[in-house]
Every structure is written in structure tokens, then in C-alpha cells.
Amino acid sequence: HAVYPFTDVVSQEREQQELKETLLSLQPMVKEHPQESFLDFLSHYLGADEAIRILEATGYDALQLPIVTAAMAYDIIKKHPETQNCTENAGNEWRYATDGYGELLEQLKRQAQAAGVEFRLEHRLLSLEKSGADHLLAFSHQGEIQMQRAHHVILAIPPSAMMGLNMDFPATWSPFQYDSLPLFKGFLTFEKKWFECMGLGDKMLMANNPLRKIYFKSDKYLLFYTDSKSATYWRDSVEQGEEIYLERVRSHLEQALPLNGQPLPPIQSHFYKHWPHGVEFYLEPEAKHPTALVHPSGII
């Protein structure tokens, strides 16, 4: 493992310093607005336009949601490495696995298989119903419907994804409501080590466009990471075709980066991932929630 480098936004120092000073100055007033959204809280003290500018400068679209109170927003900001510098958590050190987590997951999988666990990947659960003393599960796999009978069922599924099943979720499971935010990550590699030559290696740039947060991993790759409306924007771009997606990526990068009028170097390869249920949350964040939900039929 190594020290995670993206805890300081060094490429827009003035804007980040203003953001930090503003958030720290308003933090003492949070207790006076326990029910207000973060957007309303900022608008109360700064006006609507400045509140939106501050929210966009954090790089997280989710902070604009009506459900996110000021207290929740400060908690989110201080617990993310990219924004902790705007709070009392500035200087906290994060670490990451230098070769990624793939090998760790494979090792855990091998250990589970040695203990008798069977993995059936790329199955999508379609429905689940009581069948005598058992449960009958219908899966979609490579275009075919497969049925599976099980006596005990434990589901590890995003709560908001449960709403697509025939299980009356959450009414027969929980008195609480659930929702989720999408996430989108795009990776790009280049033939030339151009961003390291610009002093951007291992640095992160906040962008005032749908790229939101742009990470430059040494000279290896460029990554942008988005949530909420920006994630949906990139999903829609991908669905319109790879050519449109890459053209939008190039256009927004050229807008955000200090290229001095030069075009973005050619993209060598790219990879992206969209998570429809990237972040799950309760609609009653202040309530005490159970660690597991149990259906009357015994499904956990």
C-alpha cells in the first residue's frame, strides 16, 4: 500500500482556499438549521447563486439534494479525501492498494471456494417467492431464465434495487424509505506522458463541468469520477455511442485543463463503469436503522 495522493486540490488553490474559508466560517451555524438542506443553508447566508457555486466547487453533486442537511453535508465533506482539506480533518492520511484490489478479491474467492462456496456470476435476480417450505428464485443468465430453490435466503442487494422485485419492498420489510445515487467513473490512457510534464501527476483537479473531479495518476492514466446528475449525463453519453462519449470527454477536458489553447493529446485507450445504485441511503437519516431487514417469510 501507499499514501493516497488526492487529498489536496493543488491546481486551483485560490478557489479551494475560498471554499475552505467559507465552509469553516459557516460551520458554527449548522446547529441553528437542523432540518434545512445544505443548499438552503448556504443560500440563507450566501445567496442562491453563491450557494450553487460553493456546492459545485466540492465536486459532489449529491450535496445539492434536498435530503442532504447541512450537518450531513459537513460530515460527507470531512470524510472524503478530496474535500477533507476544507474541514478540521485537513491533513488526515489515506492509503490505497498500489496494485488495486483484484488480487485480494481473488484470494478471498479461493478461500471461500476451498470451504465449499459455489460462485455463479453474471446472474440477475428477477423474482423471489415462497414455495412451500422453500423459496423459489428466478434468475436471468445469458438471456435464459433459470430457477433455483433454496431453504434459506440471505440477500446482499442494494435496497433501492429491491424495489424492482416482486417483494413489496420496503412496505413489508421496513418502516423506512430508501433511495440511491448513481456513480460513473471514466479511465483514459495516453501515448504521451503529457500531464506529468504539466506538473499534474498524482494531483486532482475540480472541474466546473460534468467531469467534476479529475485525477491524474502519476503518468499512468487519467480518471474522472462523478455522482448524481453528472453520472447520469455520462451514462446518457455512453448510450448515444462511444464516439459521442469520447468527444464530450475531450471537450470538457480541454475546457477544464490548462492546455494553453493546445488540443488534448490523442486518447490511447479508455474504460468506464456506471453504477445505477452507486450510493445507497435512507430517506430518514436521523432515525435508528436496523443492520438487517427480515421479510415475514424469513428472507434476510
Pairwise CA distance, residues 88 & 266, whole Å? 41
**Is pLDDT larger for residue 169 or for residue 8?**
169
For residue range 233-250, list pLDDT tens digits in order.
Answer: 999 999 999 999 999 999
Is 222 in contact with 204 (CB distance < 8 Å)? Answer: no
Closest CA to 84 of 258, 204, 255, 188: 204
pTM: 0.85
pLDDT for res 11: 52
Class of domain 179-282: alpha beta
- Mean predicted confidence (pLDDT) in 222-231: 96
Per-residue confidence at 196, pLDDT binned at 50, 70, 90? Answer: confident
For residue range 284-294, list pLDDT tens digits in order.
Answer: 767 788 889 99
pLDDT for res 46: 95
Q: Is the pLDDT of residue 12 over 60?
A: no
CATH 3.90.660.10 range(s) for the chain read: 179-282
- Mean predicted confidence (pLDDT) in 144-151: 96
Is 56 in contact with 39 (CB distance < 8 Å)? Answer: no
Per-position b or e across 270-280, b if 16+ CB within 10 A of its CB: bebebbebbbe
Block residue for cell numbers 428477477: 126
For residue range 71-118, list pLDDT tens digits in order.
Answer: 989 999 999 999 998 888 888 999 999 888 898 999 999 999 999 999
The per-residue pLDDT of the chain, averaged, comes to 91
